[in-house]
Each structure stands twice: as C-alpha cells, then as structure tokens.
Chains A and B, each alone.
Chain A
Amino acid sequence: MNISYNWLQDFVDLKELGLDPALVAQALTSIGLAVEGIETQSNDYVFNIDVTSNRPDCLNHLGIAREISAHFCLNLRTPDVSDLPAHRPGTEFPSSVIIQDPDLCPQYAARIMTGVAVDESPAWLKEKLLAVGQRPINNIVDITNYVLLLLGHPLHAFDYEKLGENRIVVRRVAAGEKIVTLDGVERTLEAGMLAICDAAIPVALAGVMGGQDSEISLRTNTILLESAYFNPKSIRATSKSLALRTEASYRFERGADPEMPVKALNLACRLINQIAGGQTVGPVINENPVPASRLVLDLREKRIRQVVGVDVEPGFVTDILTRLQFEILNQPDRAWKVRVPGFRVDIGHEDDLVEEVARHFGYDKIPSTYPAPTSAGRFLPAQPHEQLLLQRLLGFGFYEAVNYVFSTPAREKLFFPEPVSMVAIANPLTEEDTHLRTSLVPGLVASVRRNLNHGTDEIRLFEFGHVFLPVDGAGSDRLQEESRLGIIATGTFYRPYWGQAQDEFRFFHLKGIVEELLAGLGYRAVFERTEDYRFLHHGVASRVLVDRRPIGVIGQLSPELNETFKFLQRVFVAEVAVDNLFSRPLPEPQYSPLPRFPGTERDLSFVVDKSLEYDRITAAIKSLNVANLRDVQLIDLYQGQKLPFGKVSLAVRLTFADLTRTLTQEEVNKSVDVISDLLKREFQAEQRA
C-alpha cells in the first residue's frame, strides 16, 4: 500500500512536530505496519507499507493517520462526511435500488447527481493520485479513487442514462449471464455471483469491477454514484473465480467498514459538486436491510498481564483504545468494556484488544524471560536410527541429497511398469510437478545425470525422504506416505592413486554398504535375486529381506535406462523402506567374554557349478552344526581359463575356536573333512589343493 507523507498531513501535523518521514516509518513499523521502503519524490515521500491481511482499515490514508495519531498522541482531523442537501428534487431523475440478496449485500447507498461536467481533474487531485501511483482518468473516476485512497471505501459511478429504467437491482446472477467489464473483457458469469444490475442485465460485478456499457464518458451528464457494503466471502469467491483482482475487491474481500457507505458517498458528492459542478438530485437512496452492529468486548487488566507478561498502566490502555477510536462504555473493576469501531474487522476477541495495547505499548519494551523446561527434550524415536545410518553413509563417502517430492507419470513410467499408480496434484503449477513421487530412485538418477553433466563422474548420493502411494486410486483422500532411504553410486571406488589399485564401484560395494547399514540397526539382511524391477538389470538385481520380509531392492540400473539417460558407466542403486526398520529400538551392545584361546583358521578351495548360489553353500555348512566352527568367509572366487566351462572355484576360510581350550589339529582336521564331504555330497564340489 502506497501512502503519501504529504497526504497524511491533511489529518495529522507531522512536519510541524518534527516527525520526518524516517521517524514516521520507524513508528509505523514498530506498531505492525511494516514500511518496506520510502520513495523520495520531487516534493513528497511515499511509504510502501506491507499491510497484513487482517487490517483493511489501514489500506487508506485516514487509517494510517489514525495509527500515527494514536502512537504519537496527535490530534486527528477527519474529513467532512456530513450529508449534502439535495440541490434538486428527486422527481427530475427518478431511480430506485432493490436488494434481492441482502445476505451478500446488507447495504447499498446511491445518489444521483446531474449537470456533471466530466473533465480533467484539478492539479491538486491529480498530484495526490500520481504520488501514490494512481493514474488520473477523469474528474469523476478520480474522485472515486481519491475517496478510496482516503477512506478505504470503494465507490462506483454509473452513467445514469445507460441504466435500463434508470434503476439498480442487486442480485445473484443466473449461470451464463454476461458482462463486458471496464477492462474490455466479456465475462460469462457463474450462477450465484453477485452483480449490480439495471432493470434487465448486469451492469457491474458487485465490489469487483464496473461494466463498460454504463461507464462514465465525456458526454455523461447525470450519474448514479454507488457506495455499498458487500459480503467479503462472496467478493472473494467471485474475484478468485474470474481471476480478477481490483483495488475494490481487495478491500471488500478483507472487509470494508460497514458504517462507511453513506459517509463515503457524502464526501464524494461534495467533491463532485465542487470539482465537476454536479448537483445532487433528491436525498441519498439508502437501502440497508441488514444494519451493521458493533461488537462489545471486555478487556481485563489481568488478561493483559497473562498474555503479554508485563503490567501496563491502566491510563495508557484507556488512552490508546480511545485514540484508536474504540468506544469505552464503562470501566468496571480493573477492566474495560469497549465497543469496537466498524472499521476494525480484525477485532473479535479480548486477546485482539490485548494486541492493540501490546503493539502500541511497544514490543521492544517487553522484557525477555525464559520459561524453564519441566522435562528433558527428546528426539524422535526414529532419529537415532537415521543418525546412525547417516554417519555411516557419510563415512562411506556418500553425500546427502534432497530432491523435490514431485514427479510425473512420464518420468515414473521409465522406471516402473505401467500403469504407474501415483498421487496427482489437483492444481499443479508446472508440468514437472503434476504428481508425487512413488520412489526415490528417479530423483537420484536425475541427480546423477546432472552431476555427470557438470563433469563429476564419481558420484555417491543418498537421500532420506517420503514417497506417496495411492491407496484407493486417483482422487481418494487416502494415501500412504512412506519414509525411504535411497542410495546411488557410480564411477570409481578407488580413484587412480599412487600406492592404491584403482577400482570401479561395483554391485558388491553397494551390497556391503547396505549390509553394514542394516547390521548397525541390528538386522541381518538376506538377498534374493529378482527380475521384478523394470529399472534394474535383471542379472544384477536383488530384493533385500530382513526377518523374511522384503524391505527394499538393490541392483544395477538397467541397460535401457543407461541408454535413456546416456550413462556410459554402470550405476548402482538401492532403495529401502525404513519406517519398520526404525520402529524397533537400536540394539543394545551385548558383551561376551574375550576368547582366551587362539582360534584356528583353515582354507578350503573347491570347484562347483557357477549356477550354485553361495548362500546355499553357507546354509548347508551351517546346518551341519559343526562344533566350534565360528566363521565362514569367502576369500576367493575364480572363473576362467583354468576351469571347465560353467564352473567356478571358491575358497573359504573356516575359523574354529573354543572358549575353554586350544583345539587339537586332529579335531580341526576332522571338522574340515566333515564340511568337505558335505560339499562333495551336496554340490559335487571338487576340492582343490
């Protein structure tokens, strides 16, 4: 809202009291009318004030002047809004107002003026409008704008002759009624919108914009001047639905002063008479089927103390409320009974009055106190889990990514079989945010693409985030929001580096990381080959299971996606649902006594079919329950020219130990033989030297 310093002086003496623009701006900001900037003009200063949506009473110069007068204890001069007697009898230009929908229009005041000379405005008026950025049009329109900027009440002038039967009907329109608004746009109205009509058709969108047909022109001689009060919700709905926001709608939808229509009308008529020579015809036509009532509220001294935390002088409270034009009806014991002025649509509760007192008392005068906590602060139950995984991932060199939760079916269907079931956004702003993601993988893959574009080819990222899964299909109010961890890696594992062999990031690097993360949470992960994921290479893809339940997936990005995203290197991804994993407390460390007797290690090499899954071998060994066998580790895997086709050579290291004694060679040999026999029997393993 632009407010002119010079204009304010019509109502309060500023210059005379040394209140320069900087001081005024500071004061306004301190009472909640944030001055965002002061524009210096040739002979004026204009404040750009950010008026919060609850204070339509400050969307005009008088309202701002009232706040300044209250803050600095200045006298407030108000303009003459008294009734202007009729210059001519009403019979000369008969008219009438009928309000058909008083719920949307509780009051409609109008006055006919004739002999109006539509012309350019006088210099003083143009200057005032130009200072605050309002383009002058003609004296009649300028006067309505002037009254708007002064009192905050929107007015509208019709060409009397253009109104069918010269009368006004305020009513809800039927679907399909049309109007060409002042901006030249023909608008088809929706049923229920409130319009100002003549005997037949809409001539203005109530409280939003006038119609072109009844617009004031240079030939206009007689006008009908409207000053009404409209229901804020109705104006807001119409303005929103037509995407048409005007100075008038902006004020009506926030709440105009229900006591203002006739006053604003009187001021405008007086000015039209002075400036354009217009003469009033008959008295003010004032239809007011629903008279405005003022709210009466109690303000207790103890409530001020309870909310603000300071004792405010009762004299100060009385003074500030009076200056803000609250009417103090009486002062019972340590309280005030006040009547709220019509323009203060924001005041509806005792605490709203507390705020009036507090903001003029000064927030800076309120001390800082600290309420002591009554219990220790707690993190979320899942935060230690996330923290643990996070620390490990950072240690493994993975950067934390944050992706948008938005996606599109077009993107998602590259990864998942159609039809992809997604949660749609009803009012997306762009083509990239039409839906919500169902997986973290597409976002991470896009992040890899961007990094490669920048020349970074060693990429390790992870993301904790939500995915959104529809429950009952599109348009349902039910959806499942799930927390997941996504991990992606590509490029080198060890960079070319002196003293260190270079290595590419491989599937088993990522698998090791996932195993280590789950182990930290106290889970032993099981991996099961799968071909169910379209986005993964079907030879290098695995489900991740804990406690026999699938919790995620890991693998190499499919060759098709590599082609789509023009990846020239292998990309590995994992995605794990974490809500369930995090629901169990982190495992407490379990101490077991350190072995006092050294263990014995034996390596066993053997050749088996390549198609044999390693997990089957370890499971079989485990099922033997070999005494004192503590650990089985795969230490080598070979396939190549030394072996027949379809065969693979494995070497495992077996660790034997007993807590109470050193094992003898014979015992260990016997155990190794048992295992070796099993491998031969079950898997036709040929032992190698």
Chain B
Amino acid sequence: MATVEHLSPLWDAFRKELAEVSTDEALTDLRDKYLSRSRGAVTVELKKLGQLSAEERPQAGKLLNELKLLVEQALAEKAGEIREKQKSARYQAERVDVTLPGYAYHTAGRHPIRRALEEMERIFVSMGFSIMSGPEVEVDYYNFEALNMPKGHPARDAQDTLYVTDNLVLRTHTSPVQIRTMEKQKPPVRIIAPGRVFRRDSVDATHSPMFHQIEGLVVDEGITLADLKGTIEMFLKAFFSEDTRIRLRPSYFPFVEPGAEVDVSCIFCRGTGCSICKQSGWIEIMGAGMVNPRVFQILGYDYEKYTGFAWGMGVDRIVMLKYQVEDLRLLFDNDIRFLSQF
C-alpha cells in the first residue's frame, strides 16, 4: 500500500545508502537499485499501483511520483558532488610549484650608445627631421674646408685629427654630412646626422679616439636663433624630462655665427646644484649656432634669403652622465656584464 507510512522507510533507506556513495560506480548501482525499469524499488512500487482500487490509486500515484522525483533529484545532486571532488583531486595531483624558475629564455639589449642614439633619432623624426649619413673616412674639404676651417685654421687644433692621407681624415664630427646634404638639396633642409667620429686621443677613463655624435641642421627662409633655442629645448625636454630648462652661452665654432654652447639644467639635482654639475646646476650638453654665411657662400646658398641653425652633441658623454658610468672604456669593451644592464 503506497501510503506515507509505507513509503517513509524506503526514502530513509535510500538516504542512508546515498550518504555512503562516493564514486560514479556506486552511484549507478544505487540508481539501479531504486529506479531501474525491471527491479528498482521505486519502480516496483509504481507497478503495484495497478492492483489498487480506483479511489486509492490517484493518491498513491501522487505520493510515489513525488518520491521518484526526490530520489532523482538527490541522485543528480550527488553526481554533481562527485564530479567536484574528482576535479579537485585531479588539480591536487597535477599541481606544480609555481615558484620554480621559468624556462631560460634569453633576450639581449641594445648597446647603451646605440640605444640613446635610437631614442634621439626617434624624437627628431617626430619633429620632422630626416636622418642622413655619410662616410667615416672623409675628405678634408667636407670635414674642414667647407665648414670654414681652411688649412692652418686654429680651430683645427681643437680637433686633433687622425689623417689617412693629406686629403683624407677620420671625420672629427658628423658636420660633413650637413655639407653633403646641402650640396644635394635645396632648402628647406631639416636633418640630423648621427654617427661615429674620431679624434687623435689615447684611450683613458674620459678620452677615446672614437665616439658618437648627433648633429642637426635646419635651413629655410626666416630661421632664427630663437628657433634654434625652441627646437633644442623641445628635443631636450623630450629626451630628459618636461621640466628640463636650457641655457645658451655665446661660444665659437667656425661653421656657425653667432655660436652658442648649450647647457641643460642638471638632470640629477634639477638645477639646485650637486657634485655632478659641480654645484652650478647646469651641464654642458652641445655646441650650436646659426650657420655661418661663409659656409653658405661656399655652398652657393643665398645667405640673404636663407638662414639656418646647426648643433652637435656627443652621445657617449650623455650616456655616461645619464647612467653615471665612470669609465668611458666600458662603452667599447663589450663586456656582457656591462651590456646586460641596459
């Protein structure tokens, strides 16, 4: 008889057995025991319904169907629990020590000088400058003569030169590239010339017979010393930081007139004075000036129509300054302990 009293022990027995189940197999067995078509305990009760009278049947049927639903629900819940347990057991088994070191991939870095050059080039290109290059062994004419430094000019002394022949030198600056460009191109000219340059110097902590320079040149109608100031300032702010200030002092380079030495506010003390800037708050960073009309004359430019400015700076010194490298020789030793720091 499918009454509450009759079905309660069946439900209690099921619950008890279900509590014992912990594997998929046991769960299948339990399902069969209660719900299998042929001999499941609940199925058997359902089959007995036919023996009941018409009055009893609806009530008993309802109870039995409720029980079947409860059993199915409980089995499904249990199946979920088992899956969860299995998943976490698998995670446990496949766990790795995430603190073990990662595989040894090995990427390298650029040479600090070339890296600085690359950054400078990028800034200048963004300011509309095009990059130009030229040979490292240069004709005397381009290195000196055309830059208003004829033979016997005292300024040649300041740049002790390595000669290949009387007519060929290891370029002492990248200025020859400016001349070569102006020979080929009419204004407007807006270029930079990065590259290696050479001096007759022996190697020590602060001297090198080879170093790197980046020079710039702007020629057009209406270019002024004020433009030089603004352009250099824009570059130095981008390269160092936005709060960088600059100072121009009159100076002399044969290929410019008026000429200037450019100081930048000390990148370490921001201009308040420290040991690196010798308490001055300023660091000398480049030479600059308005292109000397004598240079324009040599090139056949009309200096009444066109004016221009040029500047040049040493990259190695800036790298040493920026990273506080105490010995210039480290830049050309290719010591991986050094290179891997950049």
- Please tell me if the beta carbons of B111 and A308 are within 8 angstroms of each other in the complex: no
Does chain B have a CB within 8 A of A405? yes
Q: Which residues of A contact B126 (CB under 8 A)?
A: 377
Q: Which residues of A contact B50 (CB under 8 A)?
A: none
- Please tell me if the beta carbons of A369 and B108 are within 8 angstroms of each other in the complex: no
Closest to A372 in B: B128
Does chain A have a CB within 8 A of B137? yes
B154 CB contact (under 8 Å) in A236, A310, A423, A461: A236
A-B contact count (CB 8 A): 256
Q: Which residues of B contact A497 (CB under 8 A)?
A: 101, 103-104
CA distance A433 to B170 in the complex (A): 12
- Please tell me if the beta carbons of B154 and A351 are within 8 angstroms of each other in the complex: no
A29 CB contact (under 8 Å) in B104, B110, B157, B249: B249
Can you spell out 8 A-B residue pairs with CB atoms less than 8 angstroms apart?
A: A355-B250, A355-B257, A377-B124, A377-B127, A396-B108, A405-B210, A425-B164, A468-B136
Q: Which residues of A contact B258 (CB under 8 A)?
A: 307-308, 351, 354-355, 358-359
Least distance between B101 CB and chain A CB atoms (Å): 7
Does chain B have a CB within 8 A of A477? yes
The 9 tightest CB contacts between A and B, nearest first, are A373-B128, A309-B224, A32-B250, A309-B226, A355-B258, A52-B252, A377-B125, A368-B230, A397-B106
Binds A, one of B6-14, B25-33, B59-67, B331-339: B331-339
- Please tell me if the beta carbons of A433 and B209 are within 8 angstroms of each other in the complex: yes
- Please tell me if the beta carbons of A374 and B128 are within 8 angstroms of each other in the complex: yes
- Please tell me if the beta carbons of B292 and A400 are within 8 angstroms of each other in the complex: no
B332 CB contact (under 8 Å) in A369, A402, A459: A402
With A307-B290, A397-B107, A450-B334 known, 13 other A-B pairs at CB within 8 A are A307-B258, A346-B252, A351-B257, A355-B259, A363-B250, A380-B132, A400-B110, A401-B111, A427-B162, A433-B209, A451-B336, A481-B136, A497-B104
Least distance between A633 CB and chain B CB atoms (Å): 24
- Please tell me if the beta carbons of B152 and A402 are within 8 angstroms of each other in the complex: no
Does chain A have a CB within 8 A of B301? no
- Please tell me if the beta carbons of A254 and B251 are within 8 angstroms of each other in the complex: no
Most chain A beta carbons < 10 A, residue from B108, B133, B229, B337:
B108
Interface size class of A (residues with CB under 8 A): 35 or more
CA distance A309 to B221 in the complex (A): 12
Does chain B have a CB within 8 A of A367? yes
CA distance A89 to B168 in the complex (A): 59
Closest to A464 in B: B114
B-facing mask of A353-397, CB < 8 A → 1, else 0? 011001100011011111111111111100100000010011111
Does chain A have a CB within 8 A of B109? yes
Q: Which residues of A contact B155 (CB under 8 A)?
A: 53-54
Does chain B have a CB within 8 A of A403? yes
Q: Which residues of B contact A153 (CB under 8 A)?
A: none
CA distance A499 to B337 in the complex (A): 26
Does chain A have a CB within 8 A of B129? yes
Most chain A beta carbons < 10 A, residue from B164, B224, B290, B337:
B164
- Please tell me if the beta carbons of A377 and B190 are within 8 angstroms of each other in the complex: yes
With contact pairs A395-B107, A400-B108, A402-B334 given, residues A423 and B225 touching in the complex (Cβ less than 8 Å): no
Q: Which residues of A contact B71 (CB under 8 A)?
A: none
CA distance A378 to B164 in the complex (A): 33
Closest to B246 in A: A368
Does chain A have a CB within 8 A of B213? no
Using CB atoms and an 8 Å cutoff, list the residues of chain A in contact with chain B. 29-32, 34, 52-55, 232-233, 236-237, 253-254, 306-310, 346, 349-352, 354-355, 358-359, 363-364, 366-380, 383, 390, 393-406, 423-430, 433, 436, 447, 450-451, 454, 456, 459-461, 466, 468, 475-477, 479, 481, 494-495, 497-500
Most chain A beta carbons < 10 A, residue from B103, B135, B137:
B137
Least distance between A117 CB and chain B CB atoms (Å): 39
Q: Which residues of A contact B147 (CB under 8 A)?
A: none
- Please tell me if the beta carbons of A402 and B165 are within 8 angstroms of each other in the complex: no
Closest to A367 in B: B226
- Please tell me if the beta carbons of B111 and A254 are within 8 angstroms of each other in the complex: no
- Please tell me if the beta carbons of A237 and B110 are within 8 angstroms of each other in the complex: no
Most chain B beta carbons < 10 A, residue from A350, A352, A429, A476:
A429
CA distance A364 to B332 in the complex (A): 38
Q: Which residues of A contact B100 (CB under 8 A)?
A: 498
Using CB atoms and an 8 Å cutoff, list the residues of chain B in contact with chain A. 100-101, 103-104, 106-111, 113-114, 121, 124-133, 135-137, 139, 152, 154-155, 157-158, 162-168, 170, 188, 190, 196, 198, 200-203, 209-210, 218, 220, 222-227, 229-231, 233-234, 247-252, 254, 257-261, 290, 292-294, 307, 331-337, 339-340
Least distance between A120 CB and chain B CB atoms (Å): 36
Q: Which residues of B contact A460 (CB under 8 A)?
A: 108
- Please tell me if the beta carbons of B154 and A253 are within 8 angstroms of each other in the complex: yes
- Please tell me if the beta carbons of B251 and A32 are within 8 angstroms of each other in the complex: yes
Q: Which residues of B contact A31 (CB under 8 A)?
A: 250
- Please tell me if the beta carbons of B162 and A425 are within 8 angstroms of each other in the complex: yes
CA distance A393 to B314 in the complex (A): 27
CA distance A548 to B336 in the complex (A): 36
- Please tell me if the beta carbons of B130 and A429 are within 8 angstroms of each other in the complex: no
Q: Which residues of B contact A368 (CB under 8 A)?
A: 226, 229-230, 233
Closest to B128 in A: A373
CA distance A354 to B257 in the complex (A): 8
- Please tell me if the beta carbons of A377 and B154 are within 8 angstroms of each other in the complex: no
Q: Which residues of B contact A400 (CB under 8 A)?
A: 108-111, 114, 339
With contact pairs A53-B252, A373-B127, A481-B135 given, residues A309 and B225 touching in the complex (Cβ less than 8 Å): yes
Most chain A beta carbons < 10 A, residue from B106, B110, B254:
B106
- Please tell me if the beta carbons of A374 and B251 are within 8 angstroms of each other in the complex: no
Least distance between A401 CB and chain B CB atoms (Å): 4
Q: Which residues of A contact B340 (CB under 8 A)?
A: 399
Q: Which residues of B contact A376 (CB under 8 A)?
A: 128
Q: Which residues of B contact A451 (CB under 8 A)?
A: 334-336
CA distance A597 to B121 in the complex (A): 48
CA distance A352 to B259 in the complex (A): 10
Closest to B201 in A: A429
Q: Which residues of A contact B259 (CB under 8 A)?
A: 355
With contact pairs A30-B249, A371-B220 given, residues A479 and B164 touching in the complex (Cβ less than 8 Å): yes
Closest to B258 in A: A355
- Please tell me if the beta carbons of A459 and B224 are within 8 angstroms of each other in the complex: no
CA distance A468 to B258 in the complex (A): 37
- Please tell me if the beta carbons of A34 and B334 are within 8 angstroms of each other in the complex: no
B200 CB contact (under 8 Å) in A372, A390, A429: A429
Q: Which residues of A contact B168 (CB under 8 A)?
A: 477, 479
- Please tell me if the beta carbons of B125 and A369 are within 8 angstroms of each other in the complex: no
CA distance A436 to B198 in the complex (A): 12
Q: Which residues of B contact A378 (CB under 8 A)?
A: 125, 130-131
CA distance A349 to B155 in the complex (A): 18
Least distance between B164 CB and chain A CB atoms (Å): 6
Q: Which residues of A contact B139 (CB under 8 A)?
A: 477
- Please tell me if the beta carbons of A426 and B224 are within 8 angstroms of each other in the complex: no
Least distance between A221 CB and chain B CB atoms (Å): 39
- Please tell me if the beta carbons of A370 and B125 are within 8 angstroms of each other in the complex: no
